[in-house]
Chain A
Amino acid sequence: ALLPYVPRVPPTALPGKVTATTFALEMPCCVFDGHADASDAVWLVVAFANASDAFRNPPSRDDVPLYQRLPTAHSYMTLETAAAAYACPAPSTAVLRVGGDTACGGQGGRDPCNGPLPSPGPYRVKFLVMGCHGPKAETRWSDPILLRRAASPSTIDPAPARRDSAAVVVASILASLGAALAAAVLGAVGAEVWESLCRRDPGNGPFAHRSYRTHHIPLALPQPLPPGCRCSPPGLGCFAPRPPGPCPAK
């Protein structure tokens, strides 16, 4: 019997619902009521999306393709569960995780293995109810489920998107302050050196200073007049007296 239920990945936002090797499915609660007895087993058929049309339900439990046959048969069946687990009322928030069992699958055993999926797919799944005499009911195939493909970390570019303008401002202001200080120091020290050089060099330019030696000039005291001199101004020498000359004619 073909049931109208379509298995699907839960719509809730769970970051782990599809990973690189596993995916999660909503639990098919209350789907098989009336089509399956409590003793029947519900299997999950997982097939590559392009091989799902070619899948034929196995006639008995012994013909069930197991996990190890996935590479060759392009499909397998897993998650064998008693139909009673999906009966109403059931925990509706639970999910089924396909590929979550890493401990199985290596030994080639007969038990159904829920091992990690080897490739990203895409895969299609459906539920199949197997009774003692073969398949009894099945759901529709799901939409293709594509697993995650991880990129290599070498594709990550760690370079910053753009230079922060504050850093440029800080750097430029500091550089200009430093340059101004250096210029000021050089200028001040240079001016001092220039001035001290000019002070040592005599006779050149308007800043030269001549050094003077002061002479002590002795005062000239008035000499006593020799006798016979009269009324002559000092320093002019001395004249002997002469009789007055004839008076000029009137």
Chain B
Amino acid sequence: MARSDDGIRILQGLLVFGNVVIGMCGIALTAECIFFVSNPHGLYPLLEATGNDDIYAAAWIGIFVGFALLALSILGIVAVIKSNRTLLLVYIILMLITYAFEMASCITAATQRDFLTPNLFLKQMLERYNKSEAVNNNDKRMTEGVTKTWDKLMLQSQCCGVQGPTDWQDYTSAFRTTHSDADYPWPRNCCVMNAQGSPINLDGCKLGVPGYYNSNGCYDAISGPMNTHAWGVAWFGFAILCWTFFVLLGTMFYWSRVEY
């Protein structure tokens, strides 16, 4: 019958188009997740030291899911054009597995974002920055990572502390045990530096005279990239999954209509 033939042709065309979109989104997802995993802002040591770097795990899963989506979309196009029931069934099952992984990655990235509060980084900064004794090698490595990251962050973003330099005054810290309050009300990198890397006015910095010290907190410089990372993985993955849902439903309907 011509009408149902036309209908099947239209469905085939739609499914091929849907799979093309899935393939391209898979490439984009892989690229985005590789970008995040490559740690462009150098903030990974802070996340690692919190003991909960799930958004990096979500990005790693995203890389492999992206590849899988690309391969499966090609398989899907071949299966739909050849109208082969076995290939279609294989495609559906493999897509479901990939769907499950991407769901996990998305939900993880979305829920872990809440975990990154200012207090989390404040506590970590106070307890780890410039800590002199380490419990074991792993602890030492994380402490060094945190210290180097904070030093670089304070210099590059011209900021001090999480909410401001007063963080160093309001709380005792590992830094305070080795650096006296009179000489170092806050770390040296909070001071405005000249081209050679030394403070332009050390006494002004210690007193907190505007222009000689960094008065902003670093939380925006930390949470901005991390939120972008988490939301990028979560929302893009969510969009891909919504699209894939409809393509899969269409493929299942097509599979049930294909004769042996």
* Residues of A that sit less than 8 Å from B by CB: 14-17, 19-22, 24, 95, 97, 99-102, 115-116, 148, 150-153, 156-161, 163-164, 166-167, 170-171, 173-175, 177-178, 180-182, 184-185, 188-189, 191-192
B164 CB to closest chain A CB (Å) equals 7
Contact A152 B171 (CB under 8 A): yes
Query: Which residues of chain A have C-beta atoms less than 8 A from B111's C-beta?
Result: 163, 167, 171
Bound state CA distance, A150 and B174, in angstroms? 13
> Measured between alpha carbons, how far is A54 from B164 in the docked complex, in Å?
40
A115 to B180 alpha-carbon distance, docked (Å): 11
Kindly list 12 other residue pairs between chains A and B, CB separation below 8 angstroms, not including A115-B182, A150-B170, A160-B117.
Answer: A16-B165, A148-B170, A151-B170, A151-B171, A153-B127, A156-B126, A163-B111, A170-B238, A174-B107, A180-B245, A185-B92, A185-B96
- The listed residue (A19, A173, A181) touching B185 by CB distance below 8 A is A19
Contacts of A191 in B (CB 8 A): 256
Of chain B, the residue at the smallest CB distance from A19 is B185
* B120 is an interface residue with CB less than 8 A from chain A: yes
Stretch at the interface among B22-30, B141-149, B204-212: B204-212
B217-260 toward A: CB 8 Å interface, digit per residue (1/0)?
00000000000000000110010011001001100100110000
Given contacts A158-B120, A188-B255, contact A166 B110 (CB under 8 A): yes
Least CB distance from A10 to B in Å reads: 9
Given contacts A152-B172, A153-B172, A158-B123, contact A164 B114 (CB under 8 A): yes
Q: Would you call B252 and A116 a contact (CB within 8 A)?
A: no
CA distance A156 to B169 in the complex (A): 14
Interface residue tally for chain B (C-beta within 8 Å): 53
- Which residues of chain B come closer than 8 Å to A102, judged between CB atoms? 180, 182-183
Q: Complex formed: what's the CA distance from A175 to B215 in Å? A: 45
Which residues of the other chain, B, contact A192 by a CB distance below 8 angstroms? 256
* A175 CB contacts on chain B under 8 angstroms: 103, 107
Select from chain B the residue with minimum beta-carbon distance to A178.
B103
Contacts of A180 on B, CB cut-off 8 Å? Answer: 245
Chain A's nearest CB lies how many Å from the CB of B15? 15
* Alpha-carbon separation in the docked complex, A102 to B179 (Å): 11
CB distance from A146 to the nearest CB of B (A): 13
| Minimum C-beta distance from A213 to chain B (A) | 25
Which single member of B171, B180, B245, B252 contacts A153 (CB below 8 Å)? Answer: B171
Provide the residues of chain B in CB contact with A151, threshold 8 Å: 170-172
Bound: A235/B165 CA distance, A = 124
8 contacts between A and B (CB under 8 A): A15-B164, A15-B165, A100-B203, A102-B183, A150-B172, A150-B176, A158-B123, A163-B111
Inter-chain contact B182/A160, CB cutoff 8 Å: no
Contact A174 B171 (CB under 8 A): no
Q: Given the complex, which residues of A lie within 8 Å of B169, measured CB to CB?
A: 15, 19-20, 148, 150
- Flag if B173 contacts A160 (CB, 8 Å): no
Question: A residues within 8 A CB of B245?
Answer: 177, 180-181
> What residue in chain B is nearest A167 (Cβ atoms)?
B110
Q: Which B residue sits closest to A95, measured CB to CB?
A: B207
A171–B110 CB distance below 8 A: yes
Bound Cα distance from A115 to B181, whole angstroms:
11
Give the interface of B toward A (CB within 8 A).
89, 92-93, 96, 99-100, 103, 106-107, 110-111, 113-115, 117, 119-120, 122-123, 126-127, 164-166, 169-173, 176, 180-183, 185, 203, 206-209, 213, 215, 234-235, 238, 241-242, 245, 248-249, 252, 255-256
Contact status B242-A16, CB under 8 Å: no
Q: Which residues of B contact A148 (CB under 8 A)?
A: 169-170
* Complex contacts, B171 vs chain A, CB 8 Å: 150-153, 156
Question: Judging by beta carbons under 8 Å apart, are B206 and A181 in contact?
Answer: no
Of A22, A153, A160, A171, the most chain B CB neighbours within 10 A belong to A153
Cα(A95)–Cα(B172), bound, Å: 26
- Chain B contacts for A22, CB-based, 8 A: 181-182, 185
Known interface pairs A15-B164, A153-B172, A157-B119; A167-B203 also in contact (CB < 8 Å): no
Contacts of B106 in A (CB 8 A): 170, 174
Residue from A15, A24, A167, A181 within 8 A of B166 (CB atoms): A15
Inter-chain contacts of B252 with A (CB < 8 A): 184-185, 188
Q: Is the CB of A181 within 8 A of B248?
A: yes
Residues of A within 8 A of B165 (CB): 15-16
In the complex, chain B residues whose CB is within 8 Å of the CB of A115: 182
Q: Decide if B117 touches A188 in the complex (CB within 8 Å).
A: no
Give the shortest distance, in Å, between A91 (CB) and chain B (any CB): 13
**Closest residue of A by beta carbon distance from B102:** A174
Q: Which 10 A-B pairs have the closest CB atoms?
A: A16-B208, A15-B208, A158-B120, A116-B182, A153-B126, A167-B110, A16-B207, A156-B123, A14-B208, A20-B181
